Every structure is written in structure tokens, then in C-alpha cells.
Structure 1
Amino acid sequence: MTDRLITGLIFLSAIGSGLVAGTFFAFSTFVMTALARLPAAQGIAAMQSINVAVINPLFMGTMFGTALAGLALGVAAIAGWGEPRAVYLLGGGLFYLVGTVLVTMVFNVPRNDALAGLDPNGGEAASLWLRYVAEWTNWNHVRTVAALAAFAAFVLALRLPAAD
């Protein structure tokens, strides 16, 4: 890959991982707390609505476009391992792909899918909601830190030259 293309991908990856980190940070610091304060049926219904609304071209494009760029940067880092910024490119790609995308797919999405099938007014809804909020939020903290670490790694990579 050319240096210009790599620099462009680093820039886009920094912006994308920063946007995703900010979104997850909002959920970790106040959105889930606010939803947990609602009566269970209302909190469940609100989160079910959020889980549908989040599947849109802007958020999905940012989340998964950043993953593709991070993957490409990881490959470029391995191919040019001697370059000063290679460790930051590989680190940023791994933080994002493993800590953000993989955690989302393995831990958050299955919880969202289970919540989607839950009747907010059902008999077990309140206890399931409390468990969902705690578990989902804990994994969201992991995604937040990982996306922020990816952002930091990509910003650091931008500050270094492509080659000696």
C-alpha cells in the first residue's frame, strides 16, 4: 500500500474508532443508567427500540468500515514490521477488531437478540432486565476501552513517519 493510502486509512480509523468509543462511552456512563432507572417494561421497550434503530448505514458503516480499515492496517503493519508506526497500526487494529467488534458479536449482540424476543410485560421481564443491564453494560465497558485504545494507537501512528 502506498504511504498516502495508509495515512488516509489511519486517519479514517482514528475518526471511526473515536466515534465508536464515544458512542459506547455514552452508553456506559449514562444511557444504561437512565434506562435502568425506568420501570422494567419501559427500559426493555426503550432498549429494544435502540437495538433496532442502531442498525442503520451511518453507525454500521462507521463500526464495520473502521474494522475493515483496521484489518488492512494490521496487514500493512505486519508487511512493514520494521517501520516506526507498525506496532501502533497492529495494536490499533487488534484493539478494534478483538475488543470492539469481536466483543460486540460474542457478548452484546446475543444479549440484544435475547432481549428482542422478551415481552416487556412478561412475568420474568424485570429480573431478566436487571441481569441484561448489568452484563451488557460490563461488556460495553470493554468495548469502550478497546475502541478508545484503538483511537489512541491510530493517533500515535499518525505522529510517526511511515518508514526510516
Structure 2
Amino acid sequence: MDIARLASLIAATLTTGLMAGLFFAFDVAMMPALNRSDDRTLIQVMQRVNVAIINGWFLLGFLGALLFTGLALALHVASDGGDVVPPLAGALGAYFLALLVTARVNIPLNNALDQAGPIEHIADPAAVRQAFETHWVSANRWRTLLCTVALGCLAWALVRNGGLA
């Protein structure tokens, strides 16, 4: 049971770290670069990213962070791992909020961008960009913050678990 608890905690930390890093990369590189581009370029690139990102590696991180954190919490609660439960609960809550932001803001904006159609058929790309960019970037910053909080909680749980001792 100790191995399962530690393995799930490590897997939760790794997958959450990957998601925090992905969202951070969008915050500090991808979106600032696209902000300096024309409307059609931003729309076309983000439409392509929204298709390309749905793959097994992304889903492993995206869903794995939630599942591994939930598993680690359940295993520690079941074994009376009281010192680790509060940071694990904090990590699960923060990551769940990041998923909520994704579901309520980022995915609908991604879908609207896709529904705008191929870039060559968009009559007013400036309007499409305006409806997308500011809201998406703001929501992504929240996802970055929440995933970083979750990662910090998981690091705290690893320390309390003795996994780094």
C-alpha cells in the first residue's frame, strides 16, 4: 500500500506539473507571440492548436492529473495518512477549479473559434479575434495559477509523505 500511495502521489505531481507547464507556456510564449501577429494568423494557429492538442499525451496529463490526485487522496485517507490529506485535498480542489475554468471558458471559446470556419472564409477576422483572445488569455492565466497552486500542494504532500526525505 505504501508503494501505491507514493506512486499515485508522484504520478499526480508529474501530470499536474506537465499541465501547469503547458498553461504557463501559453501565458509566456505562445499567446504573447500570437498577440504580435495579424488576426488571421492568430485564428489559424489557434484553430490548428485546438485540433492538434487533442491526443493521448495531452489527455494523459489533463485527465491524469485529476485521476492520480484523486487516487492519491483516496489511498491516503484510507490508510490514515493524515499529514498528507490536507495538501492533497488542496491540490485536488485547485486542479478541479482549473478544469472548471477550462470547461466554462476555454473550451467554449475554442469551439466558437472552430465554428468561425476556415480562415479564408471569415469575413471579419478582427471581430472573431476580439471575441476570443482577451477572454481566452485571461482564463488561461487562471488555469496556470490554479495548476501551479495544485503543483505546490502536491510538492507539499510529497514532503509530508516523506517521499523527498
TM-score, normalised on structure 2? 0.88
Q: Is the 8 A contact 1:95 1:150 kept in 2?
A: yes
Partner of residue 152, structure 1: 152
Q: Which moved more, 1:124-133 or 1:149-158?
A: 124-133
Cα separation, partners in 2 of 1:129 and 1:31, compared to 1, 3 Å: same
AA in 2 matched with 1:97: F
Partner of residue 141, structure 2: 141
Task: Measure the CA separation in 1 of the matches of 2:154 and 2:18.
Answer: 13
For 1:79-94, list aligned pairs within 5 A. 79=78, 83-94=82-93
Q: Aligned pair count?
A: 160
For 1:4-15, list aligned pairs within 5 A. 4-15=3-14
Task: Measure the CA separation in 2 of the matches of 1:81 and 1:130.
Answer: 51
Structure 2 gap segments, 5+ residues each = none
Per-residue CA shift, 1:21-58, capped at 9, x if unaligned? 11100111121111122111111001100000100111
Partner of residue 20, structure 1: 19
1:79: Cα distance to partner? Answer: 4.7
* 1:75 and 2:74 correspond: yes
Structure 1 gap segments, 5+ residues each = none
Partner of residue 52, structure 2: 53
Over aligned residues, Cα RMSD in angstroms?
1.8
1:128: Cα distance to partner? Answer: 2.4
Q: Is the 8 A contact 2:5 2:76 kept in 1?
A: no
1:78: Cα distance to partner? Answer: 5.0
Task: Measure the CA separation in 2 of the matches of 1:82 and 1:18.
Answer: 23
1:124: Cα distance to partner? Answer: 2.9
Per-residue CA shift, 1:80-99, capped at 9, x if unaligned? 6671111011111111122x
Cα separation, partners in 2 of 1:64 and 1:128, compared to 1, 3 Å: same
Query: Could you say what secondary structure the match of 2:161 adopts?
Result: coil
AA in 1 matched with 2:105: F
Identical columns (%): 28
AA in 2 matched with 1:126: A
For 1:111-122, list aligned pairs within 5 A. 111-119=109-117, 120-121=119-120, 122=122
Q: Is the 8 A contact 2:15 2:60 kept in 1?
A: no
AA in 1 matched with 2:149: A
